[in-house]
Amino acid sequence: MNLTDAVKRLLVGRKLASNQLGETLLPKRIALPVFASDALSSVAYAPDEILLTLSLAGVAGFAFSWPIAAGVALVMLVVVLSYRQTVHAYPSGGGDYEVASVNLGPHAGLTVASALLVDYVLTVAVSVSSGVQNAKAIFPVLVGHEGVVAAVLILLLMAINLRGVRESGTLFAIPTYGFMIAVLGMIGVGLLRIVVLGEPLAAPTAGLDVAGDPFYSQLEGFALVALLARSFSSGSAALTGVEAISNGVPAFREPKSRNAATTLGLLGLVAITMMGGIIALANLTGAKMIDEHAGVVFLRDGVVVTQHQDTVMAQLAQTVFDGFQPGFVFVIVMTMVILFLAANTAFNGFPVLGSILARDGYLPRALYTRGDRLAYSNGIILLALAAAGLVLAFNASVTALIQLYVVGVFVSFTVSQLGMIRHWTRHLAVEADPADRRRMLRSRAINAVGLTFTGTVLLIVLASKFIYGAYLAVLAMAGLFFLMKAIRRHYDRVADETVLDLAEAHTLPSRLRAVVLVMELNKPAMRALIFARASRANTIEAITIAADPDQVEDLRRGWDALSPDVALKVIASPYREVVGPFVAYVKGLRSGNPRDVVMVFIPELVVGHWWERLLHNQTTLLMKTRLAFLPGVITTAVPYQLASSRYAIERAERSDAAEWRRPGTGTVHSGAPLDD
């Protein structure tokens, strides 16, 4: 094992064979934190965004947090019920993309796919950024370095996910359940102290007044509608991640659809309870947040108060556990960790969707295959790099990133629900069994309600957020849509050009001309000449380039002394070039007959160390690259192994032997593979 492999094994773990895929499937108790961490964690910042937007209307605006939260909870309930139909109807893991493609056509499928891919990147960026913002309550040193810290954390999550779904899921389960216990426990203790014991709990911001935007302060007419729409669209961030389960059904244990539907139901129940509880506590304790970027300020006795603004979660934890510091620390730490790990939902959804799109020819095929750990490694790396670039560009500002958020997920929600209605309608046309028809009619009704709700929310989000940054997300989706179309056209064009012609498959070249590049009279050159002879070409030429006259003269004398049966031809090079004159000579050998072939034999040294690669074969590499563009020319690199390469060969043999001996890699006791 070389150094590169050793580092890779240390980071991602030992290789897993294809027949070990079953070992990575998830039970429900692990699937919930793996696929639901995004939706669960959004309750840590969705209430913040609701209150931040309502602060534009001053203190009176916070009274609308109840109906806004109720509206978000209702939409979440409808979406969860709708997606339970999807996971039963389409358990293959294509999710919204498959639903839209099958029922509405490829353009609808690509629209959903582009929306989801953009949303997954934003999920990672927003979740990690929110975690960094919460972490500042405990680690003030992070102030001013949010973007860099967020980018480093994203790369760390990438490394964890490269180890595979099962391992990352087990690692994330404890903090996810810890977050659920922390939030539900805080809600329970808070409501107990306020409602049952009658204690007058007040948040740190309860006694402060708020000077909002004069445009919204009237709370009437268009200003009220605009305020509520912006607040509702920001709070709808709580719905992100719900669709991830429909994309991840193949990762569940059998029965996959039923387990996925159960997990989806649990997700909806817990998320709605947590969201409602936090908003209730915020109202009962008087917790406030202000949008400082919009000029909103805190006032005390008419005087502007300048102080650090904690998140709603931090304020509630401080208030509920005012005499119990470990409780406060536990809530903040679990919130911080779950927000970091919420990105795991995207790290599971993005690579799977990318693999399906690559299979269909809309993304590079490198995204289709699984890596050493049976995870879609290339998709994980691509997602991490895109999200890291985003948090660096926006310095991990949740308020700025949230404006780009939600649009993509509601585009996919809406198109998917329309596709499901078409799905049930198509099946009802041919289904005769009364029981199955009743089930399909019920499912279609649920999806119809889902379409109404998600379509309405999409219009609200676009209308209220477009000028504040949502247009960037729309542009990114459009760009990705046309990029995927272009990739598909390229693959289709390549397939048309390379389709097998049975007549050509049995046609041999009419004439084969062999050309051997000889720059030095040594063993590699002689081996290339021997291979050229073995090709039984019609003609064989040995060519050298006169870049150095003295060297060429020595080569000519040595060649004559060797007396080979192939003459050495010298090509002039007045400007001391090697590649250009040789390629020009080979190009001149091509005839007008398309069945004539020129085969070029180039000696190449095989080295065993990375630094040796910098010292050898540079001219060979350039020459092969140039010759590859000449039709009717075949380039053959004739390898000559140096002594150092033997160590590399031995390392490879030892690594292969260890791989065959490892249990679960498809071997028999004799060491022979089960299949080739």
* CATH number where 274 lies: 1.20.1740
**Of 367, 390, 413, which closes a domain?**
390
Burial (CB < 10 A; 0-12, 13-18, 19+), residue 475, is exposed
For the chain, what percent of residues have pLDDT higher than 90? Answer: 25
User: Which residue(s) pair with 252 in the sheet?
Assistant: 26
Asked, for residue 202, whether it belongs to a domain, the answer is yes
Confidence tier at 675 by pLDDT (50, 70, 90): very low
Q: Is the bond preceding residue 364 a cis peptide, omega within 30 degrees? A: no
Q: How far apart are CA 123 and CA 344, in angstroms?
A: 9
The beta strands (E) that lie in 297-403 are given as: 297-300, 303-305
pLDDT tens digit sequence for 56-76? 888 888 889 989 999 989 988
Asked, for residue 486, whether it belongs to a domain, the answer is no
Split into its structural domains, the chain has a count of 2
Q: How far apart are CA 598 and CA 541, in angstroms?
A: 11
User: Across the chain, what does the average pLDDT equal?
Assistant: 82
Asked, for residue 515, whether it belongs to a domain, the answer is yes
pLDDT tens digit sequence for 394-445? 888 877 787 777 788 889 889 999 999 999 999 999 988 999 999 999 999 9
Stated length of the chain: 676
Q: How far apart are CA 4 and CA 651, in angstroms?
A: 12
Asked if 446 and 108 touch (Cβ cutoff 8 Å), the reply is no
Q: How far is CA 527 from CA 518, 524, 599, 625, 669, in A?
A: 11, 5, 15, 22, 39
pLDDT tens digit sequence for 621-657? 899 889 988 888 999 999 888 887 776 666 656 655 5
pLDDT tens digit sequence for 172-226? 688 888 999 999 999 999 999 999 999 989 998 888 888 887 777 776 777 788 8
Asked, for residue 536, whether it belongs to a domain, the answer is yes
SS3 304: strand
Count CB neighbours of 587 within 10 A: 16
Q: Are strands 209-211 and 297-300 parallel, antiparallel or unpaired?
A: antiparallel
Residue 122 has pLDDT above 80, yes or no: yes
Domain containing 235 equals 3-98+120-390
Asked, for residue 615, whether it belongs to a domain, the answer is yes
For the chain, what percent of residues have pLDDT higher than 70? Answer: 86
Q: Structure tokens of 404?
A: 């780009």
Asked, for residue 421, whether it belongs to a domain, the answer is no
Domain with 560 in it: what CATH number? 3.40.50.620
**Of 390, 405, 428, which closes a domain?**
390
- Residue (of 288, 348, 319, 311) closest to 165 by Cα position: 348
Asked, for residue 34, whether it belongs to a domain, the answer is yes
**Of 347, 375, 390, which closes a domain?**
390
Burial (CB < 10 A; 0-12, 13-18, 19+), residue 591, is middle
Asked, for residue 66, whether it belongs to a domain, the answer is yes
Residue labelled with tokens 């927003």? 126
Model's pTM, two decimal places? 0.71
Q: Structure tokens of 151?
A: 């980018």
Count CB neighbours of 664 within 10 A: 10
